[in-house]
Amino acid sequence: MNGNSGVVFAGRLLIKAAPSFFDSTGSPREKLAQTLRAISTYLTEIARALRLGSSPISSLCQLRAKTITFIILAREIVPEQTARGIARQLVSGTRFSAPLSDGDRPVAIASDYETAAKLFKHVADQMV
């Protein structure tokens, strides 16, 4: 995937939207920061599972569920279309188009998940 996956693109979209998140105040901002940290954690867990050759299904399901929370919270701060675009890219990156039996493929995908995790964590850390 090499940095061009849906999850990395979601992180890039998040970075573009970040100034609006930073300018927000109150409870939605705090909850959104918590949600971004959780998403980062799930992305990291998926990467770890892929590197170990394990199935990341549990973390993938948790990530998909957390994107719903993200949409609800983020659309209070940015246009709903922006929030949905980030979530759509994030979820699209959880659908593997081919079996992960090729040894190089899981490592490349894991790298993308790690990159996205760092982007989501960075924005969350900047919000507090």
pLDDT digits (tens, 9 = 90+) for 8-35: 999 999 999 999 999 888 888 999 999 9
Give CA torsion, residues 116, 57, 61, 12, to 10 deg: 10
User: Does the residue 101 lie in any domain?
Assistant: yes
User: Does the residue 85 lie in any domain?
Assistant: yes
The C-alpha atoms of residue 47 and residue 11 are separated, in whole angstroms, by 15
* Nearest by Cα to 47 from 115, 1, 98: 115
User: Does the residue 21 lie in any domain?
Assistant: no
User: Average per-residue pLDDT in the chain?
Assistant: 89
Give CA torsion, residues 118, 10, 2, 125, to 10 deg: -10
The C-alpha atoms of residue 102 and residue 29 are separated, in whole angstroms, by 41
User: Does the residue 31 lie in any domain?
Assistant: yes
Number of domains in the chain: 1
Phi-psi region of 3 (alpha: psi -120 to 50; beta: other; left: phi over 0): left
Q: Which domain holds residue 123?
A: 6-16+26-127
| pLDDT tens by residue, 107-127 | 888 999 999 999 999 999 999
User: Does the residue 97 lie in any domain?
Assistant: yes
User: Does the residue 91 lie in any domain?
Assistant: yes
User: Does the residue 116 lie in any domain?
Assistant: yes
User: Does the residue 1 lie in any domain?
Assistant: no
The C-alpha atoms of residue 77 and residue 73 are separated, in whole angstroms, by 7
48 pLDDT band (50/70/90 cuts)?
A: very high
CB atoms within 10 A of CB 120: 28
Residue count of the chain:
128
At 30, list the tokens: 């705090």
pTM of the predicted model, to two decimals?
Answer: 0.90
